[in-house]
Amino acid sequence: MVCCSRLLLRKYGNFIDNLRVFVKGGAGGMGLPRLGGQGGKGGDVWMVASKEVNLKTIKDKFPHKRFSGAAGGNSSVRSLKGMSGAACEIEVPVGIAITNDNGVKIGELDKAGDRLLVARGGHGGSFRSNFEPSKGQNKMVRLDLKLIADFGLVGFPNAGKSSLLSKLSHAKPQIADYAFTTVKPELGKIRYPDFKQLSVADLPGLIEGAHENKGMGHKFLKHVERTKQLLFVVDVHGFQLSNKTFYRTVFETIQLLTLELELYKKELLSKPALLAVNKMDLPDADNKFQALLDQLADPQKHLQSLSSDLIPSHQIEFRHILPVSAHMGTGVSQLIACLRTSIDEEAELEIQDAAQKKLESLQTSPFGTKKNTSSLSP
């Protein structure tokens, strides 16, 4: 089990998932009074999503963390309209949410090449219209990285999430028999014979109270927000963090994980979810797995073991429940197939949903209604 001093000694690592930077649009140029010229506009500051950078590279490359657009040119005798100042483009990682210092969201950049204007340059001065040049907008903005993945691995420490990821993909995450081995999210890709790829995010283990910032979990729960579906990974023999904490059976583990997600953001429970019950190679695993299936079939009957404040208000309906052994590789190919089925089913539902919405909008539009009624009248 876990040795606390060992935990304290372990470093959080180099990974950073948020950064505050100062952005400032360029000032507008001056208009030349004598000939009624107009100053150039100050350069804007943009954020552009790129797969080539991460927040650490930005922090290392720009230790000052200040970004400004160039000032607009003054008008001159040769050029009555001053040159516009060059825009500043900051390359940021894909999957960034940008907020101002008050926590108000400015925007999100989800795909490589997505752009967001974060500080507008000032306008140029014009003597004729009595226009003073203005300064550019300036503000502190916060960049928050949220992984975008098809699946997020949700589980208590030591459940075997990283072991499973290493079997599902070519990723080589750190694996060890102590809690919180994974300290930063890691992405792996499952490659299918038809070249389709699904991404799986290995997240640090959650513990009870993660939503209150206990353990490592809270910091990473936000990543779960952006994963399309959840893959719960549990140890068939249950979980105990240390001899000072309760032992939880595998069924209780699922309840407690559900509760943590619910307390953090209950919308997370609406995501499609699958369950991998790991370590099936260990003795007595089959009996424990069978008992779990019975408990999940009638959860209310088996919830008495938990105090009422540890019971989530909703039960997750898992689309697939699979016994696996990340250690031996058993059940992994079935899991890979189920993950694909689940994503394909969801895509199909989205297509049907979009088609249904389109149909409804056609039927309610004046054109749609008119067409319907006139074609029916003899």
Ligand X SMILES: Nc1nc2c(ncn2[C@@H]2O[C@H](COP(=O)(O)OP(=O)(O)OP(=O)(O)O)[C@@H](O)[C@H]2O)c(=O)[nH]1
Residue 286 CB burial class (10 angstroms; 0-12, 13-18, ≥19): exposed
Smallest separation (angstroms) from Mg ion to the CB of 286:
25
In the list ligand X, Mg ion, none, the entry touching 325 (Cβ below 5 to 8 angstroms by class) is ligand X
Tokens of 8: 């304290």
Please identify, using beta-carbon distances, which residue of 110 and 281 lies nearer to ligand X: 281
Q: Which spans in 86-188 are helix H?
A: 161-168
Q: Which stretch binds ligand X (CB under 6 A): 68-76, 172-180, 300-308, 352-360?
A: 172-180
- Indicate whether 180 belongs to the interface with ligand X (CB under 6 A): yes
Tokens of 310: 């540890």
Please identify, using beta-carbon distances, which residue of 81 and 161 lies nearer to ligand X: 161
Contact assessment for residue 151 and residue 200, using Cβ atoms and an 8 Å cutoff: yes
Please identify, using beta-carbon distances, which residue of 119 and 154 lies nearer to ligand X: 154
Task: Report the helix count and the strand count for the chain, using DSSP H and E.
Answer: 9, 14
- Near ligand X by CB under 6 A: residue from 152, 157, 312, 323: 157
Nearest residue to 56 via CA among 115, 131, 143: 143
By CB under 5 A, the count of residues binding Mg ion is: 4
Q: Which stretch binds ligand X (CB under 6 A): 142-150, 171-179, 331-339, 345-353?
A: 171-179
Smallest separation (angstroms) from ligand X to the CB of 172:
12
DSSP string over 316-327: ---S-EEE-BTT
- Indicate whether 278 belongs to the interface with Mg ion (CB under 5 A): no
Please identify, using beta-carbon distances, which residue of 160 and 312 lies nearer to ligand X: 160
Instruction: Please name the residue that has the structure tokens 């779960």.
Output: 224
Smallest separation (angstroms) from ligand X to the CB of 160:
3
DSSP string over 195-259: S-EEEEEE-PPP-TTGGGT-TTHHHHHHHHHH-SEEEEEEETT-B-SSTTS--B-HHHHHHHHHH
Smallest separation (angstroms) from Mg ion to the CB of 205:
7
**Residue numbers 198-217 binding ligand X by CB under 6 A:** 204-205
Please identify, using beta-carbon distances, which residue of 124 and 152 lies nearer to ligand X: 152
- Indicate whether 281 belongs to the interface with ligand X (CB under 6 A): yes
- Indicate whether 158 belongs to the interface with Mg ion (CB under 5 A): no
Query: CA 372 to CA 370: how far, in whole Å?
Result: 5
By CB under 6 A, the count of residues binding ligand X is: 24
Sign of the four-CA dihedral 222, 226, 227, 231: positive
- Indicate whether 169 belongs to the interface with ligand X (CB under 6 A): no
Contact assessment for residue 228 and residue 346, using Cβ atoms and an 8 Å cutoff: yes
- Near ligand X by CB under 6 A: residue from 85, 160, 238, 272: 160
Tokens of 123: 């306008």
Binding site for ligand X (CB under 6 A): 155, 157-163, 175-177, 179-182, 204-205, 278-279, 281-282, 325-327
Q: Which residues bind Mg ion (CB under 5 A)?
A: 161-162, 181-182
